[in-house]
Amino acid sequence: MSLHPPRVLTREQVLLASSKPISPAIKLLFLVLAIVGAVVFVAGAILAPDRAWSAFHANWLFWASMSHAGVVFVAVQRITTARWSRAVIRFMEAYVAFLPVAFLFLLLTLFVGRGHVFPWTHEAYPVPEKAQYYNGTFLTIRDIVIFGLMTVMGWWYIWTSLRLDVGRIPEAGAPWARGWRDRMRAGYGEERREIHSTHSLQGKLAVWTVLLFGFGWSGLAWDLSMGLSLHFQSTLYSWWFFMGGWLAALSLFGILVQIWNGYLNTADGLIEERHFHDIGKLIFAFTAFWGYLTFGQYLVIWYGNMGEETFFMRLRLMQPWVWITVTSVILVFVMPFFGLLSRAAKVFRPTFLLFALCSVAGLWLMRHIEVYPSKYGTTLTGGPFGPWEIGIALLYVGVWGWLYCAFMDAFPRMRVTLLTSPFRDEVQVPVDPETMEPLPAHE
């Protein structure tokens, strides 16, 4: 063990190490992908509306759940008062940039594409209770309210995190966000007091953000994923769904940290091997948890052997879906679980990237398996992945990537204040933000 204290960089050093501009070519690439994907989607909505809207909805489920899970993971860092992630967590905070667009895409599906996505628009309800629950007006209102609240809460939380840094550094960043940065600086006071008042506020916001994630995505999972088959129900489905989004968020986070580490040329030692080890352990742990939920749901349905439940699993183990189902399970569980057992695999860049990519790709396939069999049964011709699915996937990759780059160009890329302030670790012992006196332990 080293007897030397850890090196603390100055604010200027952190800003210099993390401020390399994103290449315009990268942003242009994402923009081109978004435009091409939008053209494909519009063409598909005219020529093959069922396929186009199904692909649009499957991608929405993947990108929206993953983006919100990323914001919630950031909130969990506050709840646990984590210090290990301060240098890298801003790379995940940028997920929030997609949430307003995801809200608009949800409105588009609910008001324009509903007849091509949801069975309750044209199928008879199997029981009267489902006629009440899947009533179109009731479902539309509650899903808009739920996702709208989650979007507002997510942005509010990330705003407080950004403000703590923006208020202490010189004006810099993309011109389009200058007005936002000015509002963040308004009323910014003494550094120590701002750190504690922000920490106190985030403690409240973080708890509500996490609760909204669990309750909100339970309802959205039942409405927008499980509800694509009116004859199926499973109380464990919501857990399985939103923990899939959580695992995707962590896996993509690991990929992005690797990318930023290379792009910023290790950021002057701010991004270290221990970060990859910690993220790798998290991916491994939640891979195991996702596998537990998947098998737990399957096992109960299997031994219950009730027709209104078993058909859902049986359909996904028949042609043309079986190869996608098996592939997704291998990618999400088998490869990351056994591949990330060792420490070496977590910190060696090629293996880390391989298993993180497997997890993201497998969960993307899993979202399609949730949507397409319920829509088409075994009658789909021409294969489940055609030009519409590929083009609309490019739309989401382009939009998400472009928004992510815009966010990272507009705000500090690291938590500068909590990395450099002499008061950064005082938050481990909560104080009253008004008197700056330590709070009793029970508070």
Structure tokens at 37: 């994907």
Query: Which pLDDT score is estimated for 2?
Result: 43
Asked if residue 386 lies in contact with residue 43, where contact means CB atoms within 8 angstroms, the answer is no
Asked if residue 160 lies in contact with residue 105, where contact means CB atoms within 8 angstroms, the answer is no
Asked if residue 184 lies in contact with residue 411, where contact means CB atoms within 8 angstroms, the answer is no
Structure tokens at 360: 């993201």
Contacts with 50 (C-beta within 8 Å, 6 or more apart), sequence order = 116, 375
The DSSP secondary-structure symbol of 353 reads: H
Which secondary-structure segment (H or E) carries 205? helix 191-224
Which pLDDT tens digits describe the chain residue by residue (443 residues)?
444 445 567 888 888 888 888 999 999 999 999 999 999 999 999 999 999 999 999 999 999 999 999 999 999 999 999 999 999 999 999 999 999 999 999 999 999 999 999 999 988 888 888 889 999 899 999 999 999 999 999 999 999 999 999 988 888 888 999 999 999 999 888 888 899 889 989 999 999 999 999 999 999 999 999 999 988 888 889 999 999 999 999 999 999 999 999 888 765 678 888 999 999 999 999 999 999 999 988 888 888 888 888 888 898 888 889 999 999 999 999 999 999 999 999 999 999 999 999 999 999 999 999 999 998 888 877 668 889 999 999 999 999 999 999 999 999 999 999 888 888 888 777 777 667 777 665 44
The domain segmentation of the chain, as residue ranges, is 21-418
Query: Which pLDDT score is estimated for 441?
Result: 55
Query: Which pLDDT score is estimated for 266?
Result: 63
- C-alpha 437/C-alpha 435 separation (Å) is 5
pTM: 0.93
The region that residue 282 occupies, defined by phi over 0 for left and psi between -120 and 50 for alpha, beta otherwise, is alpha
The residue behind tokens 């031994």 is: 303
- C-alpha 89/C-alpha 48 separation (Å) is 41
Residue 210 half-sphere exposure, CB side, CA atoms within 13 Å?
A: 13
Query: Which pLDDT score is estimated for 342?
Result: 92
The beta strands (E) that lie in 233-385 are given as: none
Which secondary-structure segment (H or E) carries 416? helix 416-420
Contacts with 173 (C-beta within 8 Å, 6 or more apart), sequence order = 181, 409, 410, 411, 412
Residue 365: Cβ-neighbour burial (10 angstroms; 0-12, 13-18, 19+): buried
Distances (CA, A) of 174 to 177, 182, 406, 408: 6, 13, 8, 9
The torsion angles phi and psi of 345, rounded to 5 degrees, stand at -70, -25
40: number of Cβ within 10 Å? 21
Structure tokens at 352: 């880390």
Query: Which pLDDT score is estimated for 268?
Result: 62
Query: Which pLDDT score is estimated for 7?
Result: 59
Contacts with 139 (C-beta within 8 Å, 6 or more apart), sequence order = 120, 133, 223, 227
Query: Which pLDDT score is estimated for 433?
Result: 64
